[in-house]
Amino acid sequence: QQQVKQSPQSLIVQKGGISIINCAYENTAFDYFPWYQQFPGKGPALLIAIRPDVSEKKEGRFTISFNKSAKQFSLHIMDSQPGDSATYFCAASKIYNQGGKLIFGQGTELSVKP
């Protein structure tokens, strides 16, 4: 049973466009929602994370939008660049579940065309 569902599976965006990746979760006990970015041949790396007490968090061109009532959160990449081409994973965890126990979405392969 997939507790975190991610869409789309793949995404092609023109340079300068907005990339949007969506995730939905089932377990209301989740209260930490990170996004990880993975380049080919590398391990995932934390991009940005949000807690459910805020509806939006922005870091540079990357924004997380969070809708607690709908149990959904999304990643927006503004002014997408070819260097953003990577696989993106959303994830969720419970704060009292300790570090290292993340539930990941299925991943989105983003390609930004020049």
Partner 1 sequence: NAGVTQTPKFQVLKTGQSMTLQCAQDMNHEYMSWYRQDPGMGLRLIHYSVGAGITDQGEVPNGYNVSRSTTEDFPLRLLSAAPSQTSVYFCASTRGLNSPLHFGNGTRLTVT
Interacting residue ranges for partner 1, rule: CB under 8 A: 4, 6, 9, 32, 34, 36, 41-46, 49, 51, 89, 93, 95, 98-107
Of 22, 42, 43, 41, which Cα lies nearest the Cα of 33? 22
Taking only Cα atoms into account, the Rg of the chain, rounded to an integer number of angstroms, comes to 13
- The Cβ-side half-sphere exposure at 107, using a 13 Å CA radius, reads 8
- The Cβ-side half-sphere exposure at 92, using a 13 Å CA radius, reads 23
3 contacts 103 by C-beta, under 8 angstroms: yes
Is the Cβ of residue 18 or residue 95 nearer to partner 1 in the bound state? 95
Nearest distance, CB of residue 106 and partner 1, angstroms: 5
Is the Cβ of residue 17 or residue 22 nearer to partner 1 in the bound state? 22
Nearest distance, CB of residue 73 and partner 1, angstroms: 15
Is the Cβ of residue 6 or residue 74 nearer to partner 1 in the bound state? 6
Is the Cβ of residue 17 or residue 103 nearer to partner 1 in the bound state? 103
Nearest distance, CB of residue 110 and partner 1, angstroms: 15
Of 112, 59, 62, 107, which Cα lies nearest the Cα of 83? 112
